[in-house]
Amino acid sequence: MSLPDLNLLVTLDALLAEGSVAGAAQRLQLSPSAMSRALARLRETTGDPLLVRAGRGLVPTPRALQLREQVRELVQSAEAVLRPVQQVNLLQLQRTFTLRNSEGFVENFGAALFARLRREAPGVRLRFRPKLDKHSTLLRDGEVDLETTVVGPEASPELITQRLFQDRFIGVVRAGHPLGTGTISAARYVAAQHVQVARRSHKVAVVDEVLQQMGLARDIPAMVGGFASALALARSSDLVATVPERHSGVLRDGMYSFELPLTVPEFSVAMLWHPRQDADPAHRWLRACVREVCQAD
C-alpha cells in the first residue's frame, strides 16, 4: 500500500485558507498551474472536489469544511515538530542526566554543579558514573549523556570534545612531613617513599618516564587503584602521593602540596558528548554549567 503524499496537506491548508488557486499559489510561492495540478491530485486522493466554482470564485464543499480545522492543526503540529527549538524552560525541565567522570570530578566539582542546577533547573537529576575505561560505547548508545576525561589520542572521532581546563601533577604529603620544609629537589623527591596509582594499561607513569630520563627512580613500596586511595594512605603515613592538582583539591585538604621538582607535561581535561545531543537545548545548558563550574577559580 503506497503512502499518501503528505506535502498535499500543506497545499490543502493553503487552498482552504485562501479559497482560491491563485491565492494559494502565491502563499506557497508556486505557479497557478502547479497549484491547479496539486488541486487535481487532492481531488483524486480525497475523492471530493473540495473547491467548486460559484460565480467568479471557489467555495469549499461540505467535506472541505469538515477537513479545514483538522488540516490546519496537522500542519501547525508538523511545523512545530520541524522548527528548531531555541530555548528551554529550565524551571519546568524534568530530566535526568547521566555523567561519567574521572576520579575526583564529583568530589571537587560535583557540589558546585549540583548547586547550580538546583538554582536554575530544580527538576533536573544527576547520575554520576565512574569512568573505568576509555571506551565510548556508553556515549554512543545513549546510556551516558556527558563524559569528562583526560584528552588522549584514543578518543573516538565520532564524539565532540571541548576542553575544560589544564591540569598538572603535584606532590602531596601529610602535615608535618619532612618534605614540608625546605627546598624540594629531585634528589629529595626520589629519596622519599612513594605510593603509586596503578595503571590498568601497565604503562610506566609519566612521572617515572621523566625520572628515567634523569637517571633517577622512585622507591614505590605501595600501589593503589586510585588517587583518593593514594591520598588517604599518604595522609596517615610518610608516603608521597603524586596526583593531579585540580582533580584532588578537596581530597587533599589539610595536607601539604608541592610543585614537582621535575618537568612533567601538563594535560588537558575535556568533556565529550555524542553529536546527537549537540543541538538539544537542555544538553547545551548542561554543558555550559559543567564548563563554567570547572573553569571557575
CATH number for the domain spanning 54: value is 1.10.10.10
Give Cβ neighbours of residue 36 (< 8 Å, ≥ 6 apart): 21
The SS3 of residue 286 is: helix
- Model confidence over 22-59: pLDDT tens digits? 888 888 888 989 989 988 998 988 899 988 988 778 88
Q: Determine the Cα–Cα distance for residues 137 and 156; give it in Å rounded to an integer.
A: 10
- Asked if residue 142 belongs to a domain, the reply is yes
Cβ-contact 155, 231 below 8 angstroms: no
pLDDT tens for 59-87 read: 889 998 888 888 888 888 887 677 666 67
Last residue of a domain, one of 82, 105, 138: 82
Answer yes or no: are the C-beta atoms of 129 and 101 closer than 8 Å.
yes
Please name which of 192, 167, 133 lies closest in space to residue 268, comparing C-alpha atoms.
167
Give 270's pLDDT tier (boundaries 50, 70, 90): very high
Q: Is 1 within the bounds of a domain?
A: no
CATH number, domain of 122, equals 3.40.190.10
Q: What is the pLDDT of residue 158?
A: 81
Q: Note the pLDDT of residue 203.
A: 64
Residues 9 and 30: their CA atoms lie apart, in Å, by 15
- Look at residues 152, 128, 251, 261 and name the one whose alpha carbon lies nearest to residue 207: 261
Residue 2, in any domain of the structure: no
Q: Are the C-beta atoms of residues 172 and 248 closer than 8 Å to each other?
A: yes
Pair (244, 178) in one structural domain: yes
Grid cell in block for residue 246: 585540580
Residue 201 pLDDT > 60, yes or no?
no
Tally of structural domains, the chain = 3
Handedness of CA 99, 104, 110, 113 (dihedral sign): negative
Q: What does residue 286 show for φ and ψ, rounded to 5 degrees?
A: -60, -45
Domain that holds residue 137: 90-160+273-295
Is position 251 within any domain? yes
The verdict on residue 107 lying in a domain is: yes
Q: Which three cell numbers stand for residue 18?
A: 485562501
- 136 and 282 co-located in one domain: yes
Residues 12 and 100 in one domain: no
| d(C-alpha 71, C-alpha 73), whole Å | 5
| CA pair distance 227, 195, nearest whole angstrom | 10
Confidence (pLDDT) at 288: 96
pLDDT at residue number 222: 95
190 located within any domain: yes
Average pLDDT for residues 83-97, to the nearest whole number? 84
288 and 141 within one domain: yes
Average pLDDT over residues 98-123: 93
